Amino acid sequence: MRTVPRRRSAIEVAAAVVHTGRIALAAVGAGRSTVRATIVALTVTALAFAGAVAVITTTVPAEAAALAAAVEDEGADCPVTLPGSLTANSRLPDPFKKLDGARITAKSDWRCRREEIKKLAERYVYGEKPAKPTSVTGTVSSTNITVNVSHTGRSSSFSASVQLPSGSGPFPAVVVLGGFGADTAAIRAAGAAVINYDPYAVGREGTPRNNKQGAFYTIYGATSSTGLLMAWSWGVSRIIDVIAQSGGSVLKADAMGVTGCSRFGKGAFVVGAFDQRIALTMPIESGSAGVPIFRGIPGEGAQSLSSAYGEQPWLGDAFGSFTGSPNTLPVDTHQMVAMVAPRGLFIMDNPHIVNLGPKSASVAALGGAEVYKALGAGENITYWSDIQNGSHCANRPEWSTPLQQNIQKYLLKTGNAPGAMRISSRAAGNLAEWRDWQTPTLTDGPSTPSPSAPPSPSASPSAPPSPSAPPSPSAPPSPSVSPPPTGAGCSATGTVQTQWATGYVIQPVTVTNNGTSTINGWTLTFTLPAGHAITGSWNATVTTSGQTVTARNVSFNGAIPPGGSVANFGYQVSRPNGNTQVPSGYTCAAS
């Protein structure tokens, strides 16, 4: 296996031995301030490069970037009653549906809905993450962080090394789990410090479930049902506690990121989901027990859930009941993606290794992105699997620019680059196949009052999206809108979101009901210029015959009220080099 081309610590070397052996056997170890900035625009648009399906969001002012929270769990005061029984559901659970059966209607509702998801994930997937212990003390220097924890008569300690970037601090920082994660040289070059965190000091691998070891289990007991991933998350939270108490002369507690690859990617994902003080979460190639939806893993052929559960006690003990029946889980990883919202999330994935479940991971990202969009923060999530190098946990040039942009936006707070969905055509999941729910338009007004609820993020009033995006590196920024030919009761327009020499993306195609009664389905037909070919589409069933394309609604976007519209269908096209034509219009038929 070709590993990260840089000098590695002892932790990295040890981890590399574990990973190398597993991959050689073709079984990759699946592997704030309190002020929230106003989000001024939301749209889901598309960016594409050859071989990739992409969705990106509008550029917004730098001040619109959502900041991290001031506390670990903003919804800790929300009452949650978990279900007494579970019902199988092959589709992804509705992230907007509360445990009482009602769907949330306001952005302020998300605080307590997120808490419900958190409790479900703890109960059935990861095990409980205890609240901050009675005493957390420690030190922060330019080279090291020490953490001392005491709780209910038990004590434990661990430490992490620090590498500062050039310049004068205090600095934002990225916690790198186990020496494997985003390129540490690039992180420091961007102006952030690196905190080298050894997860094994907090939760060791190679231990049985009834005798777990490490600083977490010294406090909470060797027979704790909490898995290693949540224990590792608890450890990072305690590091942030110490940084917050240190006075901020070296590191900034309100500008923290986390990253890791493979098993440490699983850990980074859980860290970001369960601590809202993390401003930027960057898991890489996390595999089974990481980002990929549990329901999709069996059909994709990724590392099985039973294998991931049995390989190491990464997941909580309770998950053992679901390894053969993930459809019974009342929660799935798209909701853990949503738990990060509206904070920065940059998921990096590898489409070349099926065992990592990249197709299921893309579905999780797309599903979680629906919550980001509903909260007015659709530009804060990136999923990127459009890469050429298939080596596990390698540094890749495709991730260099978005890595720098994410650090600038969420940690340095100097950037405003929008997020992107760069999904490789090799492993592109289809969210429409996995959901039977629609994304609501959430109001900015108050919902059920909560005495300690912080102000919720606000967004511009919901209106038809007005997509815009920076051009791709090799393409001129030349968006155009096709004329709106009408048909039987409906019309359609398409926006050229981005284009390059040999292709383009049209997103969204807006379908409008021109009649006086609701339509319950639509069919679009249009003609591609000679030599053009559809290479990807989303939120419609698309068929081609020669150059004629037919697109039909899917289950969640067929119903349109009089005068209403839907704007979530998009597609990607390849074309001969230099041919700048695009489809000139759409014929729409309503049913």
pLDDT for 68: 87
Query: How far is residue 363's CA from residue 538's CA, in Å, rounded to a whole number?
Result: 12
Query: How far is residue 482's CA from residue 571's CA, in Å, rounded to a whole number?
Result: 14
Is the domain spanning 32-433 CATH 3.30.70.890? The answer is no
**Confidence band of 555 (pLDDT split at 50, 70, 90):** confident
Q: What are phi and psi of 588, to 5 degrees?
A: -115, 130
Cis amide leading into 342 (omega within 30): yes
101-144: per-residue pLDDT in tens? 999 999 999 999 999 999 999 999 999 999 999 999 999 999 99
Q: What are phi and psi of 2, to 5 degrees?
A: -90, 120
**Confidence band of 40 (pLDDT split at 50, 70, 90):** very low
**Confidence band of 355 (pLDDT split at 50, 70, 90):** very high
Structure tokens at 191: 């102006």
Q: Is the pLDDT of residue 31 over 90?
A: no
Structure tokens at 367: 């599903």
Which CA distances in Å does 566 have to 265, 422, 513?
A: 36, 23, 9
pLDDT for 445: 67
Three-state SS annotation for 5-34: CCCCCHHHHHHHHHHHHHHHCCCCCCCCCC
pLDDT for 499: 67
Query: How far is residue 542's CA from residue 556's CA, in Å, rounded to a whole number?
Result: 15
449-476: per-residue pLDDT in tens? 443 334 333 333 333 333 333 333 333 3
Active site residues: 262, 392
Count of Cβ atoms closer than 10 Å to residue 502 Cβ: 16
Length of the chain: 591
Q: Do domains 32-433 and 490-590 have the same CATH topology?
A: no
Helix axes 358-374, 333-340, angle to 10 degrees: 50
Q: What rounded mean pLDDT belongs to the chain?
A: 84
Instruction: Give the residue, 487 or 577, on which the prediction is more confident.
Output: 577
152-184: per-residue pLDDT in tens? 999 999 999 999 999 998 999 999 999 889 999
For residue 233, give the nearest of 191, 193, 290, 185 by alpha carbon: 290
Structure tokens at 518: 């609701």
Task: Give the whole-number percent of the chain exceeding pLDDT 90.
Answer: 70
State the average pLDDT over residues 17-45: 34
For residue 574, give the nearest of 51, 16, 7 by alpha carbon: 51
pLDDT for 45: 34
One-letter amino acid of 576: P
Query: How far is residue 382's CA from residue 528's CA, in Å, rounded to a whole number?
Result: 30
In 180-311, beta strands by DSSP E:
193-197, 251-261, 278-284
* Contact between 235 and 158 (Cβ < 8 Å): yes
Show the DSSP H helices in 353-495 as ranges: 358-374, 400-406
Structural domain spans, the chain: 32-433, 490-590
CA atoms lying within 13 Å on the CB side of residue 276: 24
pLDDT for 315: 98
522-527 β-sheet, strand order? 541-545, 548-552, 522-527, 587-590
101 Cβ neighbours under 8 A, 6+ residues apart:
none
pLDDT for 67: 72
- Largest CA-CA distance found in the chain, in angstroms, rounded: 75
Task: Give the whole-number percent of the chain exceeding pLDDT 70.
Answer: 81
Instruction: Give the residue, 499 or 81, on which the prediction is more confident.
Output: 81
Handedness of CA 577, 578, 579, 581 (dihedral sign): positive
Which CA distances in Å does 180 have to 184, 314, 357, 378, 482?
A: 9, 17, 19, 28, 47
Query: How far is residue 241's CA from residue 103's CA, in Å, rounded to a whole number?
Result: 34
Query: How far is residue 258's CA from residue 347's CA, in Å, rounded to a whole number?
Result: 11
pLDDT for 145: 98
State the average pLDDT over residues 83-95: 96
389-413: per-residue pLDDT in tens? 999 999 899 999 999 999 999 999 9
Cis amide leading into 479 (omega within 30): no
253-296: per-residue pLDDT in tens? 999 999 999 999 999 999 999 999 999 999 999 999 999 999 99
Instruction: Give the residue, 545 or 18, on which the prediction is more confident.
Output: 545
The tokens 């053992």 sit on which residue? 320
Which stretch of 31-40, 186-195, 353-362, 494-503 has the lowest confidence by average pLDDT? Answer: 31-40
State the average pLDDT over residues 345-363: 97
Strand, coil or helix: 182? coil
pLDDT for 498: 65
State the average pLDDT over residues 512-534: 93
State CA 129 to chain mean position distance.
20
**Confidence band of 205 (pLDDT split at 50, 70, 90):** very high
Is the domain spanning 490-590 CATH 2.70.70.10? The answer is no
Q: Is the pLDDT of residue 26 over 50?
A: no
Structure tokens at 308: 């991931």
Query: How far is residue 585's CA from residue 569's CA, in Å, rounded to a whole number?
Result: 15
State CA 298 to chain mean position distance.
21
pTM over 0.75: no
For residue 550, give the nearest of 561, 541, 559 by alpha carbon: 541
b/e sequence 125-138, b meaning 16+ C-beta within 10 Å: bbbbbbeebeebeb
